[in-house]
């Protein structure tokens, strides 16, 4: 598949969403709602569960299936309260020393009046800063669309993984094409030039692993579960300081190739 | 289906915003006289320079270059620039980007994307950065991200506060995901500086949007904003396209952010240096003295 085909695959109706992964990957999942500041954003699912025998915090951006649920989930575009809901769970994870697993699937943080009034930029910025210092392991998996800052706010992690056909981009290829060439029809060119595929991002060391999808959803989840357990077990060997410092260095290196 | 999701809309339309602004000439051109874009009065360039590029009639804050910003903020002759050799390159071989970089470098402000260094402000030594609005709309690519990051690292190492002036249309899309990652990188450096107990004051100027708002602009201990500055995550045009209605007047302006609790003070440029000096004086020695 070329970049544009992957973009379509990542957005395709019927593609498994965060909820589907949560059901497969975790046992004893207990959903926990609300940001304790403004409300409960249904575009973001947060809770606790066990991965094998490891207690973890789970955060997922949920697009929903079917028109009714998609509308209720705001098509997976979170408001500031969604990012603050995620942050509240990250802080609880830190308190109880459990790892955080993020499942990212969003076309982007919501652009609207309420989102701006309640500080969309500030909410994302705060998550970036908090994740940079969070003293528990964080693994983020891009399962579908990784839309700009709205995705990054849940993807500052020790390990960032992508599903084989997921995409991750600074701007939507449509947006890029209409700004650069005033021609949204050149979306295919933009998708290619922006380098949004898992394969591109792995080669640039922006992500750490590609999760195969061709084997079917059940097998993908089984594979993912084994990899997650292995990764979390490995991270036990690190002190909190080492963990945070390695996370900093991982992002510090990106685009730092200057004299 | 009602809507395919906002991923389709441009996230970052400040290119358009700045271009529109340029027509009435909010930046200071080389001519002797300039017309204020809001009150339409004719102003002499020299007089405008005297008043820190603020219209003496209506208070409109003209957009100014990074160098001029430092000139009106730093004590005379105290600015020492850092990391001058870090400049943008076409790392993804994005078609047309080389030409855009070349074109930007031919402009008045030359190769400046963000100017970083140390200086004294009212006698207090500080690290300072000023983003350049004329260089590809003040967008953040890897060069800007790296310079900001190095400045915060330098400030942490030398135990200095940071005063930063933001102006940005968002991420530099021609550097793709690498420019998005600069949000994480700079946030990490701001955090380390903060954990060292040091002060960071951000001055948000017109416009500050996108990835810069969603990272280091909103991460300061104290956030000041110039009057009337447009500050937001999404640009107004993107929001209008998404919600299909007109935005109320004053939406996303500095005064609106003050009301919503996202900035500490509106800072008029004419009294800004005094305010910065008082803030630096109050926090001299950082958090541990
Ligand atoms: Zn005026």
- CA of residue B39 to ligand 1 center, whole Å: 4
Going from the Cα of B240 to the center of ligand 1, the distance in angstroms, rounded, reads: 28
Identify the residue among B164, B168, B188, B235 best suited for mutation to test binding to A, counting A beta carbons within 10 A and taking the highest: B188
Is the model's pLDDT at B30 over the cut of 70? no
What is residue B241's predicted lDDT score, i.e. its pLDDT? 87
CB contact under 8 A, A108 and B7: yes
Is B127 one of the annotated binding-site residues? no
Are B180 and A149 a contacting pair at CB < 8 A? yes
Query: Is residue A2's pLDDT more than 90?
Result: yes
Give the model confidence (pLDDT) of B226-264 as tens digits.
999 999 999 998 899 888 999 999 999 999 999 999 999
Cβ pair B167, B18 in contact under 8 A: no
CA of residue B56 to ligand 1 center, whole Å: 7
CA of B63 to the centre of ligand 1 (A): 13
A131 vs chain B: nearest CA distance in angstroms?
9
Q: At A99, is the secondary structure helix, strand, or coil?
A: coil
Across the interface, do A121 and B141 touch by the CB < 8 Å criterion? no
pLDDT of residue B94: 97
Distance B35 CA to ligand 1 centre (A): 8
Who's near B184: CB < 8 A, 6+ residues apart?
A: A128, A132, A152, A156, A251, A254, B215
Residue A14 has pLDDT above 70, yes or no: yes
Q: Which residues in chain A touch residue B216, judged by CB atoms under 8 angstroms apart? A: 125
Which residue of chain A has the CA closest to B186?
A: A252
**Using only C-alpha atoms, what is the Rg of chain A?**
17
The reply to whether residue B173 touches residue A132, judged by beta carbons under 8 angstroms, is no
So where are chain B's domains? Answer: 25-62, 64-284
- Are B84 and B91 spatial neighbours (Cβ–Cβ below 8 Å)? no
C-alpha torsion angle, residues B180, B182, B186, B188 (rounded to 10): 80
pLDDT for B7 equals: 43
What's the mean pLDDT in A90-104?
98
**CB-based contact B173 A170, cutoff 8 Å:** yes
The distance of B155 to chain A (nearest Cα, Å) reads 16
CA–CA separation, B189 and B155 (whole Å): 10
What is residue B285's predicted lDDT score, i.e. its pLDDT?
64
Please say whether the beta carbons of B79 and B247 come within 8 A. no
Interface pTM (ipTM) of the complex? 0.97
B50 to chain A nearest CA, in Å?
34
- Tens of pLDDT, residue by residue over A131-179, are 999 999 999 999 999 999 999 999 999 999 999 999 999 999 999 999 9
Distance (Å, rounded) from C-alpha B146 to C-alpha A251? 11
B119 known ligand binder: no
Rounded-to-integer distance, Cα B153 and Cα B150, Å: 5
Residue B39, marked binder: yes
User: Edge-to-edge strand order for the sheet containing B80-81?
Assistant: B80-81, B114-121, B124-131, B162-168, B200-208, B222-225, B265-266
B interface mutation test: which of A105, A116, A178 has the most B CBs within 10 A? A116
Architecture of domain B64-284: Alpha-Beta Complex (3.90)
Beta-sheet strands, E only, within chain A: 27-31, 44-51, 54-61, 100-106, 138-147, 159-163, 167-169, 209-211
Best residue in A107, A170, A201 to probe B by mutation, most B CBs within 10 Å? A170
| pLDDT, greater one: B8 or B123 | B123
B283: closest CA of chain A, how far (Å): 22
The answer to whether A125 contacts B217, with C-beta atoms less than 8 Å apart, is yes
Percent of chain A with pLDDT over 90: 98
Q: What is the pLDDT of residues A21-74, one digit of tens each?
A: 999 999 999 999 999 999 999 999 999 999 999 999 999 999 999 999 999 999
Asked whether residue B58 is marked as a ligand-binding residue, the answer is yes
What whole-number distance in Å separates Cα of residue B211 and Cα of residue B53?
27
**Mean pLDDT in residue range A246-250:** 98
Contacts 24+ apart (CB under 8 A), B270-274: B270/B51, B270/B52, B270/B54, B272/B52, B272/B73, B272/B203, B272/B224, B272/B226, B273/B72, B273/B73, B273/B121, B273/B122, B274/B122
Query: Which of A106, A204, A259 minimises the CB distance to B85?
Result: A259
Mean pLDDT, residues B255-275: 97
Tens of pLDDT, residue by residue over B113-134, are: 999 999 999 999 999 999 999 9
Q: Show residues of chain A in contact with B13, CB under 8 Å.
A: 179
Is pLDDT above 90 for B31? no
Does the N-terminal peptide bond of residue B207 adopt cis geometry, omega within 30 degrees of 0?
yes
**To which CATH superfamily is domain A3-243 assigned?**
2-enoyl-CoA Hydratase; Chain A, domain 1 (3.90.226.10)
């Amino acid at each position: 598949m070329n970049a544009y085909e992957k973009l379509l695959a990542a957005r395709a109706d019927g593609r498994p969403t965060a909820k589907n992964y949560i059901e497969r990957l975790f046992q004893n999942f207990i959903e926990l709602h609300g940001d304790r500041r403004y409300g409960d954003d249904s575009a973001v699912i947060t809770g606790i569960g066990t991965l094998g025998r490891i207690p973890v915090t789970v955060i997922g951006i949920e697009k929903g299936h079917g028109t009714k649920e998609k509308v209720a989930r705001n098509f997976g575009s979170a408001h500031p309260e969604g990012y603050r809901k995620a942050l509240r769970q990250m802080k609880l994870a830190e308190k109880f020393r459990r790892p955080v697993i993020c499942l990212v699937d969003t076309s982007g943080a919501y652009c609207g009046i309420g989102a701006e009034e309640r500080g969309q930029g500030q909410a994302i910025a705060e998550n970036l800063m908090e994740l940079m210092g969070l003293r528990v392991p964080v693994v983020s998996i891009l399962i579908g669309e990784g839309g700009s800052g709205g995705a990054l706010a849940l993807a500052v992690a020790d390990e960032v993984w992508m599903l084989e056909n997921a995409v991750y981009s600074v701007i939507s290829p449509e947006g890029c094409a209409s700004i650069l060439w005033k021609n949204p029809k050149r979306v295919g060119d933009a998708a290619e030039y922006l380098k949004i595929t898992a394969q591109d991002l792995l080669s640039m060391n922006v992500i750490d692993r590609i999760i195969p999808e061709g084997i079917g959803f059940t097998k993908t989840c089984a594979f993912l579960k084994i990899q997650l357990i292995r990764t979390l077990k490995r991270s036990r060997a690190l002190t909190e300081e080492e963990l945070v410092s390695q996370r900093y260095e991982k992002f510090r290196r990106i685009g730092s190739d200057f004299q | 289906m009602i809507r395919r999701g906002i991923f389709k809309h441009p996230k970052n339309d400040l290119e358009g915003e700045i271009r529109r602004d340029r027509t009435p000439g909010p930046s200071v051109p080389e001519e002797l006289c300039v017309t204020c874009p809001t009150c339409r009065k004719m102003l002499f360039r020299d007089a405008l320079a005297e008043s820190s590029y603020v219209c003496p009639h209506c208070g409109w804050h003209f957009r100014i270059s990074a160098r001029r910003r430092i000139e009106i903020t730093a004590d005379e002759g105290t600015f020492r620039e850092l990391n001058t050799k870090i400049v943008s390159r076409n790392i993804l071989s994005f078609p047309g980007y080389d030409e855009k970089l070349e074109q930007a470098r031919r402009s008045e402000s030359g190769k400046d994307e963000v100017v970083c260094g140390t200086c004294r402000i009212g006698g207090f030594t500080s690290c300072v950065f000023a983003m350049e609005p004329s260089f590809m709309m003040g967008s953040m690519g890897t060069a800007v991200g790296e310079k900001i990051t190095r400045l915060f690292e330098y400030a942490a190492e030398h135990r200095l506060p940071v005063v930063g002036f933001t102006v940005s249309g968002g991420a530099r899309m021609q550097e793709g995901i690498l420019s998005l990652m600069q949000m994480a990188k700079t946030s990490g450096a701001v955090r380390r500086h903060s954990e060292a107990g040091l002060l960071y004051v951000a001055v948000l100027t017109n416009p500050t949007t996108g990835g810069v708002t969603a990272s280091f602009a909103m991460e300061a201990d104290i956030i000041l904003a110039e009057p009337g500055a447009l500050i937001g995550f999404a640009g107004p045009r993107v929001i209008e396209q998404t919600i299909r209605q007109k935005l109320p007047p004053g939406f996303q302006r500095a005064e609106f952010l003050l009301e919503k609790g996202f900035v500490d003070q509106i800072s008029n440029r004419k009294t800004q240096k005094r305010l910065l000096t008082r803030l630096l004086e109050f926090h001299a020695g950082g958090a541990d003295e």
